[in-house]
Amino acid sequence: MYKEEMNVSGADLYSGLQKIFPDEKDLTLTERLEAARGPLLSWYQGNKRDLPWRENQDAYRIWISEIMLQQTRVEAVKPYFARFMECFPTVQALAECEEEELFKYWEGLGYYSRARNLKKAAKIIVSQYGGELPADHRALLALPGIGSYTAGAIGSIAFGLPVPAVDGNVMRVLSRVAGSYEDILKQAVKKKTEAAVEEVLKTLKKDEPGDFNQALIETGAIVCVPNGAPLCDLPCPFYTVCEARKRNLISAIPVKAPKKKRKIEEKTVLLVKYGDKIAIRKRDDTGLLASLYEFPNLEGKLSEKEVLERLGGGASVEEKLPEAKHIFSHVEWHMSGYLVKAGEEIPGMLFADRGELKEKYPIPNAFAAYRKLLESQS
Distance CA 361, CA 363 (A): 6
The DSSP code for 96 is H
Helix axes 148-159, 209-218, angle to 10 degrees: 130
- CB-CB contact of 321 with 338 (8 Å): yes
Distance CA 348, CA 43 (A): 58
Distance CA 156, CA 135 (A): 9
242-267 exposure pattern, b = at least 16 Cβ within 10 A, e = fewer: bbbbeeebbeebbeeeeeeeeeeeeb
Q: Which amino acid is at 242?
A: C
Helix axes 209-218, 187-201, angle to 10 degrees: 130
**Per-position DSSP letters for 118-161, written without gaps between them:** HHHHHHHHHHHHTTS--S-HHHHHTSTT--HHHHHHHHHHHH--
Q: Which residues are designated catalytic? A: 66
Burial of 240 from C-beta contacts in 10 A (0-12 / 13-18 / 19+)? buried
What beta strand segments (E) does the chain contain? 263-274, 277-282, 293-294, 297-299, 316-327, 331-341, 350-352
114-150 exposure pattern, b = at least 16 Cβ within 10 A, e = fewer: bbbebbebbbbbbeeeebebbeebebbeebebbebbb
